[in-house]
Structure 1
């Protein structure tokens, strides 16, 4: 396939076209991904999540710049950014504003930015995000940063896609235990307090540290522990708590070092392979569920599903009864209306 060869040769236009085909669920796009798939599995997938307004885009921008221009003697890394923006419930469109916020990266040939619309998906990710990430992985990008829409309590989906998950908090949110409510603390590999120059940063850090101590051994989340992960992997990685002011680049080197330490920890402790297996199984499960549902619905008599839904709305069927009717295509209990019988 010419487009596949062009992508492997580093042609950006071909890459952008294939990603569009994948997002539009075009059969030729999936065929090309099939050809590219053997080249996947090399990239470090980093998810960045958190509530809206905490500065995720600014943080991603600075991490990408630091990876491209390392100050500690490490080689520069090629970086792809997948920024999922919310879809408007009214127009169906998306702002795709991350291209504006990350415009200072646009001239770097080692950076590729792709904005995606969430298209109403829960979990902060678009339905085709995993496939887009696979294409970018096959295209040779060593680090792929995946920024979610900031959907709050539904954003834990990112943990199933990424090797490393960054949860971003900000001071002054009005609730020191919001991380527990949102369920984000449980998925964090790194905790970043962005906008740390604002009042309340100390209070936010104390709250996060207290919550970590409820579930992890005391004292393992200090910065001096990061280097240990590369030589003496622990049974449990405890998320370090880092402070940044992303708009000024403050704290970014520490975040990059922690990302590298976590990748080293995953590889040294065999967790990389375990997460990769869980990630691919989750992708397959989601695709299988969608395919089986579509195939099952296609086999129903015309109007059968809609009629059952209407009976459910009229309280003539309970949800459990509706499930039995649909799965077995049987008449509803005590129903004199034979329209439900296929």
Structure 2
């Protein structure tokens, strides 16, 4: 099917067309450039919320509860659930989320599992383009759930308008909160499973760590800490309120536009670097590369000068 027809059907809310477009993105189809060009004027209206945290804190359950909360507000919701890759098939290891089955018959919700396929950072490499597909397809809110992350897997902060960091009592959260990467990306913190023993301690430790790392001016955003029991839907409306407050704060100060521009710049940089890597990869065995290597081993040229010469040749083509 041609791309304009797919885009038109996706805009009309047909899930099969949305699925086809995301599959073109994930498969790095030759039609990908045409797809992105067609979607460019249609995207920009969705609010992107990233949910991250260590394994076992209840990310999937919290995501499902947020979907319900937004649907009660009449919002159309898209979900990208990023899973670890199978080492055998390369596909999403967990597949479709069992905890989100309650939304499977709702035409106002689109859920897609994506595999990391070895990409580090907690997201799939195709996530930015998949977000754009859901945006152009008319989603008001896009929830992006990362794989279970550690302190270095903070890529979601570059892809979301608002980043939600989830913690839970009894999971070594004093140490988790101290991990600077996770601590610094949160716009909203959620202590899930707050009916368990130790919830007060987790909130207290998190407050303490946020205070230690605080270097804010008057009027700056201070991330709130919200308690939830996502399995029962408790506290989820308060999370939505915190998200809306953060959105309003960013819009008032122009921070939302600035964050989205940084996201677009990073996407352009990634695409450009990928193209350059492919061109450099094509040079293996090329006489130009061999000639530079021979001059280095002969002591006639240093590796940095050789690299500069190679870059000049690549960019001149």
Question: Which stretches in structure 1 are left out of the alignment for 5+ residues?
Answer: 71-75, 219-232, 309-316, 331-342
Q: Secondary structure at the match of 2:152?
A: helix
Q: CA deviation at 1:199?
A: 1.2
TM-score (norm 2): 0.87
- The number of aligned residues is 300
Corresponding residue for 2:220? 236
Separation (CA, whole Å) in 2 of partners of 1:184 and 1:77: 29
| Residue 327 (1) aligns with residue 311 (2) | no
Corresponding residue for 1:280? 264
Q: CA deviation at 1:91?
A: 4.4
Corresponding residue for 2:52? 49
TM-score (norm 1): 0.81
Q: CA deviation at 1:181?
A: 2.0
Separation (CA, whole Å) in 2 of partners of 1:303 and 1:209: 60
Residues 245 and 97 (structure 1), Cα distance of their counterparts in 2 relative to 1, 3 Å cut? farther
Q: CA deviation at 1:285?
A: 1.2
Indicate which of 32, 35, 41 corresponds to 2:35.
Answer: 32
Corresponding residue for 1:290? 274
1:130-184 Cα shifts (integer Å, max 9, x gaps): 0000011011101000000113123210000000000001111135132222620
Separation (CA, whole Å) in 2 of partners of 1:80 and 1:323: 48
Q: CA deviation at 1:98?
A: 4.5
Residues 244 and 298 (structure 1), Cα distance of their counterparts in 2 relative to 1, 3 Å cut? same
Corresponding residue for 1:126? 124
The answer to which of 185-194 and 147-156 deviates more is 147-156
Indicate which of 183, 186, 194 corresponds to 1:185.
Answer: 183
Corresponding residue for 1:169? 167
Q: CA deviation at 1:289?
A: 1.1
Separation (CA, whole Å) in 1 of partners of 2:10 and 2:214: 44
Indicate which of 93, 96, 106 corresponds to 1:95.
Answer: 93
Separation (CA, whole Å) in 2 of partners of 1:175 and 1:167: 12
Question: Which stretches in structure 2 are left out of the alignment for 5+ residues?
Answer: 311-317
Residues 10 and 93 (structure 1), Cα distance of their counterparts in 2 relative to 1, 3 Å cut? closer
Corresponding residue for 1:79? 77
| Residue 212 (1) aligns with residue 210 (2) | yes
Separation (CA, whole Å) in 1 of partners of 2:281 and 2:195: 54
| Residue 69 (1) aligns with residue 53 (2) | no
Q: Secondary structure at the match of 2:130?
A: helix
Residues 175 and 107 (structure 1), Cα distance of their counterparts in 2 relative to 1, 3 Å cut? closer
Separation (CA, whole Å) in 2 of partners of 1:148 and 1:106: 20
Answer whether contact 1:52 1:152 (CA < 8 A) is retained: no
